Amino acid sequence: MSDNQLAVEVVRGEMQPWSDYSGKRGAAQGPVLRALLTDVLPDAARTLILGPHAADLVEAVIAKAAETTVLVRSVSDAGELTEQFGDKLQVVAGALDGLVDDSRPRYDVVVAADGLDRVIGYDSDDLNWQQRLDALAAVASPEAVLVLGVENEFSLTNLLDRRPADQRHGDDEWRPLHEDPTRPVSVEQLTSSLERVGRTGAVAYASFAVKETPLTLVSADVAAAARPGQLPARLAVEALEASAAVVPLLAPVAEGAESAARAGLLASTPSGWIAVAGAAAKHAIYAQTPGAEAVLTADAEGDGWSVTVAGGGAETAGDLKFDAEAVPATVPGGVTAETLLLRLAAAEDVPGFRDLAARLGDWARSQTSSQVLLRWDDVVVDGDGFAFGVSAWATVGEETEKDRLAAAWARFHERLIGAHRRHPWPPWMVGDDLVSAWLAMSGIESIKQTPAAGPDTPSASVAEVARGKELAAALNVALGIPADASQTPDVRTALAEADEARKENFELKGQIFGLERTLGFRDKALKTRETRIREMRTQVQKANAERTKLKNSRAYSAVKLIRKAAQIRNPRKFAGKVKRRVKRQLKNKLG
Amino acid sequence: MHHHNHYYGQAHILARYAGLDDQYPPRLRGYLQHGWNIADGWNPVHEFYDGAWRFTWSDAPRRRGHALGRRNYHSIGAPFLYLLDLEPELGAVPEEEREGTLWFLFHGWEGGKIQGDHKKLIDEIRETEDGPVTFSLYYTEYDRPEVRKSYEDAGFRVVSFGRRGFSYEGTDPRFLYKQLAELRKHKRVAANRLSTAIFYGIAAGCEAAVYGDPMEMEGENPLFGGQRRIERLWPEMLGKELDPEAAKATTDLELGVPWMMPPEELRMVFDWRERV
């Protein structure tokens, strides 16, 4: 293809054939970024979108800007954007250094939410990150609003990525972008870099993303102060857990995120950061509500959070529906019930667990007007009581108290056992029996177990918790957790499962040994009894023989005669009777 | 699973509580603590089969066992507590009619007999106790005429609740029933060592006392710290007059009142599904 066949404007450094939109990586996108841009971009400004940004973000920029230009390095991407947006968008294909050399008027706003890794081509000079920032600053006016993203090399997902570094990135790693020593790897380095190019007062958001889609943005200050189980940490962990579906991990990311939050390092370990310079941030938190296109924003208010949910229709996913109205306007700032339950389980404090489960049951029963599906990871401790968190997933139909609670316990079971967390319950109880036991702890009358006719006879708990498990599974589907998530575990989980299988084998061998020993004891007891029975039988036979011998003896006959004689009460009458009988017998004999 | 689980009829009581046959209690998948001690509920050299679960009365034995490298504990509360629930009336008399002291001599076991000055102990008991004294001897002492006689001659009523059994043979499944009935008749419970019976007595509503020569047991293993450690850890449980509230609080903790569970849960924990 020759230049005169190109339908888009081109500056030096364009790439063809190439796509930053449909290759291994996609463009920066998503409702969270869109909400942020809508909040921070000024009206009627001359705006440059730098690098690959998806149509939703381009639309958001166009909606605010007086004039929008987008620079993408791929000619085909540029062509498609032109086709898509027509004259609302000026599309330039080429590299950032080429744009700098093109001596255009500087822009009032530069949106580089995708970062500076995909703004130069293979024909560009080898500009390091700081030099690319210089180039960005060169096309922006001194007072320009900048929205700049950067991937975090120290992110938890990066640290836990089980692939070697050379297998993590796409074909655009013709130079090792991620090993660039000038690249900022902390909030402080990022804001210092911006200050170096004259952009002071920038605020940074910790971005927790799945690929190029940030799911949660938490202002760096808020993230640094967040502790496990609190709203910012919860939203961050939820986003990181979603990223586990696309990044093969060495270990569960949630555990690392919670440790980071305990250390005050949540802002240091996100997937990346979005810095905003030249404009005031509006909200402390932006988060995509899992499973829906709605965006939740939250700001500190007193000890808790004021929350709004925008967008998202009345989506229905099987048994559940997304109901933004169900999200309370304020959410307490405390930790979740799940955080406490996990701590109690780890401490093997069953009485404490039982007490908390009872209180949760009482609370759940008092929420008669709510159809929000119970999940202990989104029920927040509120003083002595509890409150719903930010989940908007409610049941479509009326569910019984038992089924709603069973759903919460089934989900908790999945998160406790699935994550190989410490707990005190024996392995044979894990599963529906354990959910049933927790259900009973939260005030649902215990189910009566039925006798097992065979090794595979299901326990009565299976039927008892079946509906709850369905609801919990429906929530997973609604939240976008892949059904086969358990089949692609992280390395630690896979090793733990292998260990678990070995341990089970070891314990079953132990149990067989124990049973054999018990049988041995029982055999011994039977032998003792058999010996005793034999001894008694011999004694009985001996006694019988002696009795027979005694019966046949003259002494016995004499005793018998004497005994009979002793029974004679009237000897005269007896003698008369004997006399008569003898006479009769003689008479008969003699004729 | 292990014949110790039948000791004192504990497995029988739990089977009854769980709604199962208490004449032939089902096998219990692990080991059941059968007496209070200052370790993990078992003697220092007790052997366990691989991967065995250990069912303790309370949490402290679990923690100590964990430190011994043992895992797989679940605390369930002492079977005696379940017996109190099952038999609220057994042996009970009006509170004002409870009288005397049920005195437990620290007992030996089949493998070790106790040695000590019984005469001196009798003198001290006489000095201390106002009312009638019933003396409980384990059969290992009860069957030693010289021991039993010394207490009978002192004017004490001497009782024995039976044998705990061995290898599933000779267990008196009513052992704890008899003990409970006696305790409920008495105002006080006393012993020469802090022991299971003291905790049972307090749980059954007795005032408690621990005093007198603790005596020595043949082959006693001091691995866990012995009497000195008891004095450091439970001073409120030692003496001729104990603070009832403090003693009750410690008793509830040691017998595991907070760890008791409903029958259905117990059946799950023990893998006690009836198999037909």
* Tokens 């081109």 belong to residue: A10
Higher-confidence residue of B29 and B184: namely B184
Domain that holds residue A421: 337-489
Q: Tell me the two tokens of residue A67.
A: 């004039």
**Cβ–Cβ of A440/B262 closer than 8 Å?**
yes
pLDDT, position B257: 98
- For residue B191, is pLDDT > 70? yes
Shared domain for A32 and A176, answered yes or no, is yes
Nearest to A120 by CA among A108, A104, A134, A140: A134
Half-sphere exposure of B129 (CA within 13 A, CB side): 31
% helix, strand, coil for chain B, step of 5: 40, 15, 45
pLDDT value at B214 more than 90: no
Number of structural domains, chain A? Answer: 4
| Identity of the amino acid at A104 | R
Pair A422, A536 in one domain: no
| B150 confidence band (pLDDT: 50, 70, 90) | confident
Q: Which of B135, B74, B69 is nearest to B102 (CA)?
A: B135
Under DSSP, the state recorded for A249 is B
One domain for residues A259 and A212? yes
CATH topology of domain B95-247: Rossmann fold (3.40.50)
For the stretch B115-127, pLDDT in tens is 778 788 899 999 9
Domain annotation covers residue A302: no
What does DSSP say about strands A393-395 and A320-322: parallel, antiparallel, or unpaired? antiparallel
* Strand partners of residue A204: A275
Answer yes or no: do A539 and A585 share one domain.
no
State residue A524's pLDDT score.
85
Q: Say which CATH number the domain at A85 has.
A: 3.40.50.150
Share of chain A above pLDDT 90, in %: 70
From the list A282, A292, A283, the residue with the least C-alpha distance to A316 is: A292
A487-499 confidence digits (pLDDT tens):
468 888 889 889 9
Measured in whole angstroms, how far is the alpha carbon of residue A537 from the centre of its chain? 68
- For residue A206 the two structure tokens come to 């910790």
> In 3-state terms, what secondary structure has residue A317?
strand
**A324 inside domain:** no
Read off the pLDDT band of B15 (50, 70, 90): very high
Mutation for testing the A interface, residue in B264, B272, B274 having most A CBs under 10 Å:
B264
Chain A residues within 8 A of B262 when measuring between CB atoms:
440, 446
Contact by Cβ (8 Å): B27, B4: no
A282 — phi, psi (to 5°)?
A: -95, -45
List of chain B residues whose C-beta atoms are within 8 Å of the C-beta of residue A449: 264, 267-268, 273-274
Q: Do A132 and A213 fall within a single domain?
A: yes
pLDDT tier, B222 (very low <50, low <70, confident <90, very high otherwise)? low
What is the per-residue pLDDT for A512?
87
> If pLDDT is split at 50, 70 and 90, which confidence band does B166 have?
confident
Low-confidence stretches of chain A (pLDDT beneath 70): 1-6, 314, 482-488, 591
What is the C-alpha to C-alpha distance for residues A367 and A360, in angstroms, rounded to an integer?
Answer: 11
pLDDT tens profile A19-68: 999 988 899 999 999 999 999 999 999 999 999 999 999 999 999 999 99
pLDDT at A354: 98
Q: How many angstroms separate the CA of residue A402 from the nearest CA in chain B?
A: 17
User: Integer distance in angstroms from the first to the last C-alpha of chain A?
Assistant: 157
**Residue A319 covered by a domain:** no
Residues A361 and A262 in one domain: no
**Domain range annotation of chain B:** 3-87+256-269, 95-247
pLDDT tens column, A110-130: 999 999 999 999 999 999 999
Instruction: Classify residue A323: in a domain, yes or no.
Output: no
Q: Which two tokens stand for residue A223?
A: 């993230």
Contacts by residues B43-46 (CB-CB < 8 Å, ≥ 24 positions apart)? B43/B221, B44/B221, B44/B223, B44/B224, B45/B221
- Closest CA relative to residue A68, chosen from A118, A108, A28: A108
Give me B218's structure tokens: 């043949």
Top residue of B1, B3, B6, B49 to mutate, by most chain A CBs within 10 Å, is: B49
Q: Are residues A192 and A253 in the same domain?
A: yes
**Same structural domain for residues A389 and A503?**
no
Q: Is residue A310 part of a domain?
A: no
Note the helical H segments in A230-318.
231-243, 253-262
A437 lies in the same domain as A507: no
**A465-487 pLDDT per residue, tens:** 999 999 999 998 888 775 555 44
* Domain endpoint, select from A489, A504, A527: A489
How many angstroms separate the CA atoms of A495 and A313, rounded? 42
For residue A423, give the DSSP letter.
-
CB contact under 8 A, B1 and A453: no
Question: What percent of chain A is predicted at pLDDT more than 70?
Answer: 97
CA distance B75 to B56: 5
